Structure 1
Amino acid sequence: MTTQLWTDAVALEAVPDEDVMAAAVLGRELAFYGVDGQVYVTDNICTHGHARLSDGFLEGTEIECPLHQGKFDVCSGKAMCAPLTVDIRTYPVKIENGRVYVDLGDI
């Protein structure tokens, strides 16, 4: 059984509705997505080119990389189309007392 280690990341009110923001958490650059009242978190750097996903365009649950227009599903991290071939890492999230906590796993 894996123990989750929750890290206080950002205020819930800082995560924009139906948009994306970036924040550094314990030295890791993450992207926070507000989608349909839920918060999702992925690495912020595209797996295809060194571009920040937080500079991309969020439509529904898909973030479009601003560099080559590849798309990732922010819920699963799955690469949805070319030129992407490698999924993006996602992180478990919990909301408590107006704060967003993430489990960074094996950082």
Structure 2
Amino acid sequence: MKAMKALTLRDLSAPVTVLARLLADHGSLPAPHFDASPIYPDRLTLAIHDDPLAAAMWMETLSIPAGALVVRTHNPGRSRVEQATIRMGAAEVRFQSFVDIRGVRGGGR
């Protein structure tokens, strides 16, 4: 079995560059959870939890087309999950929004 080469911090430059650009251009947006990992070195994941307004702001900022958004419910209809993947520069950006929808009427994008 061939040994895998350990990635360096430089190998994560694509998602980190996108995150830095988002910070510089949109630093006043609500802070998302973000993740860049050597497992997927070209991916930046941005996640919003329980804040539909913040999620809508991020979807607009990222120019996510409505047709690219995948919407699901989890936990027998208690959680709404919205997810889209877009390209920004050399990185794949995965956006996710998680909202507890128990007791929420209507809503959504």
TM-score of the superposed pair, with normalisation by structure 1: 0.28
Larger helix percent: 2
Which entry has the higher C-alpha Rg, 1 or 2?
2
**TM-score scaled by structure 2?**
0.27
Q: Larger % of strand: which? A: 1
